[in-house]
Amino acid sequence: MDAYKLIVKIFVKDPPQLPADAFVPVFHSWIQNQLVADHLLIDVADYQLVHQGPGTVLVALEGNFSTDRADGRLGLQYNRKQPLAGSFADKLTAVLITTLEGCVRLEQEATLNGIRFGGDELVVRINDRLAAPNTKATFESIRGDLETLLAELYAGAPVELHHEPHAEKLLEVRIKSSQAVSTATLLERAKSLAALSAGN
Amino acid sequence: MSSANWKEKLTDRIPPDQAREIDNFEAQMLLRKAGKIEEKVFAEVRLRRGTYGQRYDNGQRHDGIRTRALAYQPLTKGPETMWDAPGMQRIKIPFGGLNPDQMKLLAELAEEYSDNILHITTRQDIQLHFVHIEEVPTIFRRLAAAGITTKEACGNSVRNVTACPLAGICRTETFDVTPYAKATAYYLMGHPDTQQFGRKFKIAFSGCRHEACSLVSLHDLGGIAVTRQVDGKTQRGFELYVGGGLGAVPYQAKLMVEFLPEEELMPMARAIGRVFARLGEKKNRNRARLKFVVAKLGIDEFKRVVMEEYQSMPEDNSWRRYFDEIPRYDEQPAFAAVQLNGQKRPNGFEEWAATNVYEQRQSGYAAVTVTLPLGDLTSDQMRKLADIARKHAGDHLRTTVEQNILLRWVPHNRLINLYEDLKAIGLAQPGAGSIVDVVACPGTDTCKLGIAASRGLAAELRKRLATQMASMDQAIRSLRIKISGCFNSCGQHHIADIGFYGNSRNVGGYTVPHFQVMLGGKWTDNAGSYALAMGSVPSKRVPDLVTRLTDRYLADRQGEETFQSFCGRIGKKQLKGWVDEFVKVPAHAEDPAFYVDWGDPRAYTIGDMGTGECAGEVISLAQFGFTAAESQAFEAQLLLDDGEFQKADEMAYSAMLEAAKTLVRQQNPDTPTDTPTIVGEFRTRFVETQLFWDKYHGNQFANYLLNRHESPDTRYTKDTAHKLVEEANLFIDASHKCLAKLQASMNVLEVPVLPKV
Ligand code: SF4
């Protein structure tokens, strides 16, 4: 699998009451303070009027963050646009780290009423219908890499992977762990894994 | 994923001429990347394929505290337009016609290459934002495989041809204008006579005079369907209007022909295009639309010039191919008509149906408007809407100039289920065509020319007005609000009851976002008259001003008086007085909220404005021709590298023909483009006259083409192909020199104009 257009979404737990435009000033402040490493931050786009849409989007050259509300569930989504080095597992780890860093940063935002992300649930998509058609075969081709990564992330706790082939939708894997883990812990583990891989 | 793979996968599904054009675009993109073609030439190449720049692509942005450089790589894709900066892709949807398969493909493209949002424009196009230039050829290929093009979606060309979304099902139309709009769109697309405009050219068709669906009056060329009786038979034709347009200087189109028989429509459009190419301004883009030609000559003289052109222009019967398709255009319902009888109506249905359901001319069927906030929908909504359309309406959908989507041919008995299905995907909002259905251009969100946040203001008004809808008087409900981010009028503010366009004012050393208030524009009668400017108010006061105006209208309205008549009766002085109550800007220390715009918490600045690309660059036909030749020579080299020797040979030959054609057409723009004619004309005009003669090499370069044409080496080995690729490059160089010589000898301008016939 040589796709790099990976998407990771992490859900907000018990979403707090927030105005619809709460994320707009937050993302602008990320640009002002250049808070996202290795990203050329460009602009903020707001789609709050769109039903279950991307919400507020922080547009960067390398990839976009959005406060995605697909299926009515708020989460932070990172959508990689530019190539990444390494194996598929390396790319996925890198995208996961970027997403988790975003979650941790939002959790620290004073204006977001103590927003928390659930570390026990992830969605991974591959935004490339040609490289990764949404079939069982594609899923099987990435399953090993996913399981290895998840075993490290969740320290061996059982993890369920859910995939449904679909002729039109992007390949999507829903991941659920029985272990409640904070995003900060997940981030730490993902970073160790990346360091290990870089050392090899 | 490389575009080469999509190219391979779709190779059998893209018409060869389109495949070739896209290959050409890709080759030009690579040449620009290698610094081998000029940025302004590539800019016009991509604009003509709808690939626009977007705000901040000049490499700087004010982040609310300071202006920050955006560290893109130094390469540009146009003047002041950085290569890496994500941009906008406009997709042409002639007459707004879409089918569910196309909708699904568009949804995929928005998901994979944009930000998961599809935006419907006021010209029935679809736009994707934040698209990376490197992915554009793949987008083109995927669109082409689904029967969609972006060709001439921007640049100095014939833009999307619009038509009433109700065409064919309308209760008041004279006849269905759909097939005429379609035929005209494809006939003029890429036509040699529409390639040398100094500015864009917009066309619209309407089925009747009194409605507003297609807004003929604000178009360069517009046709309203009319019929007459000839020898007892009904003959179809058009009232033909020319020279309308909005922008900073709005003009109402003038009636040029009262009855133009249908078979004369396309040749007449071509003749008008030729006159525009010849007489239209080329240097000053602010005076380059057709409306200025019509205004300068007067409609009678303009008509005379066009008729002269019509009579004398060289024969081109290619319009027949499109015209012959017209009678075959036939839209059939997918489901039988069954009345809605006694079914339980869910909550909200009646309110929705009152504004969003239109009774078709065909008994038992309705057309349903899907209202899209600010013209936006997600990929997921688009995909599901395609399924819903197929389930309840069939294949025939239209985008609308009010930035919505229309489902046609819904049998009455399916309306309730359709409503429920739309509700499930958040697309059953009532208020289509009402005051809540605010139209807005992209403004400062993404447009380089935007001065104020038209979308931000529209979102705010929409939110406020939606909460008042239930208790709102019908007179207020039926008003229309349209907002542009600057005077260029993409939000069509001139034809709204209440319109706004963005500007700014300096207050106490700060720049404050404002909107110019435009009142009393006429939407009906095909945009029958334009609004009056009433002065500017600060952006943050606009919602309160709207409340004041609507309250006054309700209180002082006489009988069934329209808002436009109301404005006329009340008079400009009184209206201005109401507006003036809202002009005051509090000091920054008192209320800093006035110093930021709607939906954008950064300190307001106009420093982010860039150079607009709407007008494109005026690039000479010769520049285009040589660029196309060079990109073919480049492609030939790639084929050679891939071991495709025969194809490399053919491509190199084609590159030489392209260069020769460019030269020949400099001398006679109407030269047919078939190979024998081009080679024959090249020989007569350039070889025999020794114009192509080289001081050191004599006829050597010319012979490269002549030899390949007369006796091709059919061994197609690496060596033979390599030789021809080299020769093609030398031939193109010699063509450049020849043109320079030609221009010097004739002392002509770089931008040639079509000769008067
Ligand atoms: S009206 Fe102005 S701001 Fe709006 S899209 Fe047109 S050029 Fe841009």
A89: nearest Cα among A1, A188, A191, A155? A1
- Domain contains B151: no
Size of interface A-B (CB pairs under 8 A): 106
Task: Please indicate, yes or no, whether residues B538 and B635 belong to a single structural domain of this protein.
Answer: no
3-state SS class at B735: helix
Could you give the maximum distance between any two Cα atoms of chain A, in Å?
A: 47
10 Å CB burial of residue A195 (0-12, 13-18, 19+) is exposed
Q: Are strands A171-177 and A159-163 parallel, antiparallel or unpaired?
A: antiparallel
Does B192 share its domain with B243?
yes
pLDDT reported for residue A116: 97
pLDDT digits (tens, 9 = 90+) for B255-313: 999 999 999 999 999 999 999 999 999 888 888 999 999 999 999 999 999 999 999 99
Co-location of B420 and B472 in the same domain: no
Local confidence pLDDT in tens for the 200 residues of chain A: 889 999 999 999 999 999 999 999 999 999 999 999 999 999 999 999 999 999 999 999 999 999 999 999 999 999 999 999 999 999 999 999 999 999 999 999 999 999 999 999 999 999 999 999 999 999 999 999 999 999 999 999 999 999 999 999 999 999 999 988 999 999 999 999 999 888 76
pLDDT in tens, B68-111: 999 999 999 999 999 999 999 999 999 999 999 999 999 999 99
Are B6 and A130 within 8 A, CB to CB? yes
Total domains in the fold of chain A:
1
Last residue of a domain, one of B274, B299, B328: B328
Instruction: Give CA angle at B635 (B4, A2), nearest 5°.
Output: 20
- The DSSP bridge pattern shows strands B532-538 and B117-120 to be unpaired
DSSP per-residue codes, B198-255? SS-B-EEEES-SS--SS-GGGSSEEEEEEEEEETTEEEEEEEEEE--B-SSS-B--EE
Using an 8 Å Cβ cutoff, are A69 and A52 in contact? Answer: yes
Determine how β-strand A75-80 pairs with β-strand B81-82.
unpaired
Q: Could you tell me if residue B337 is inside a domain?
A: no
For chain B, percent of residues with pLDDT exceeding 70: 96
Cβ of B742 closer than 6 Å to ligand 1, yes or no, is: no
Q: Is residue A18 part of a domain?
A: yes
Number of Cβ within 10 Å of residue A52's Cβ equals 17
Given B559, B576, B598, which residue is the final one in a domain?
Answer: B598
Model pLDDT, residue B2: 44
Is A44 part of any domain?
A: yes
A contact test, residue of B378, B380, B438 with most A CBs within 10 A: B378
- Residues B113-125 pLDDT 10s: 999 999 999 999 9
* Range scoring the smallest mean pLDDT among A105-109, B422-426, B548-552, B731-735: B731-735
Contact B646, B721 (CB under 8 A): yes
B353 with B419, same domain? yes
Q: Would the pLDDT of B752 be above 80?
A: no
For ligand 1, whether the C-beta of B453 sits within 6 Å is no
Q: What is the Å distance from ligand 1's center to B737 Cα?
A: 41
Q: Tell me if B445 and A70 make a contact (CB, 8 A cut-off).
A: no
Do B7 and B132 share a structural domain? yes
Would you state the structure tokens that stand for residue B444, as one six-digit string?
């400062």
> In chain A, what residues touch B115 (CB-CB under 8 Å)?
45, 54, 57, 59, 64, 66
On whether residue A13 sits in a domain, the answer given is yes
Provide DSSP, B396-444: -EEE-TTS-EEEEEEEGGGHHHHHHHHHHTT-----TTSTTS-EE--GG
Q: Within a 10 A sphere around the Cβ of B750, how many other Cβ atoms? A: 11
Spatial distance between the Cα atoms of B704 and B693, rounded to a whole number of angstroms? 13
- Number of domains into which chain B is organized: 5
Distance B245 CA to ligand 1 centre (A): 14
DSSP string, B11-73: GGGS-HHHHHHHHHHHHHHHHHHTT-S-HHHHHHHHHTTTEE--TTTTSEEE-SSSEEE----
Which residue from A24, A31, A48 is facing B63, i.e. has the nearest CB?
A31
C-alpha Rg value of chain A to the nearest Å: 16
Is B577 inside any structural domain? yes
pTM above 0.80, yes or no: yes
Q: What is the CATH number of the domain that holds B647?
A: 1.20.120.330
Q: From the CB of B656, is ligand 1 less than 6 Å away?
A: no
In-domain check, residue B153: no
Q: What is the pLDDT of residues B8-34, one digit of tens each?
A: 999 999 999 999 999 999 999 999 999
Residue B257 sits in the same domain as residue B206? yes
Same domain, B710 and B744: yes
Q: Are residues B450 and B404 in the same domain?
A: no
Give the domain range for residue B737: 609-757
What per-residue confidence (pLDDT) applies to B258?
Answer: 97
CA of B486 from ligand 1 middle (Å) equals 5
pLDDT in tens, B559-583: 999 999 999 999 988 999 999 999 9
Nearest of B64, B60, B63 to residue B72 by alpha carbon = B60
Quick: pLDDT tens for B504-536: 888 888 999 999 999 999 888 777 788 888 889
Residue B436, φ and ψ in degrees, nearest 5: -75, -25
Q: Which of B123-127, B209-213, B748-752 has the lowest mean pLDDT?
A: B748-752
As given in the structure block, the two tokens for residue B407 are 């489902």
Note whether residue A1 is domain-resident: no
Compute φ and ψ for B644, nearest 5 degrees. -90, 75
Domain membership flag for residue A45: yes
* Domain end among B398, B424, B450: B424
B528 in a structural domain? yes
ipTM of the complex: 0.97
Q: A169 lies in which domain range?
A: 6-199
Q: Is the pLDDT of residue B750 over 70?
A: no
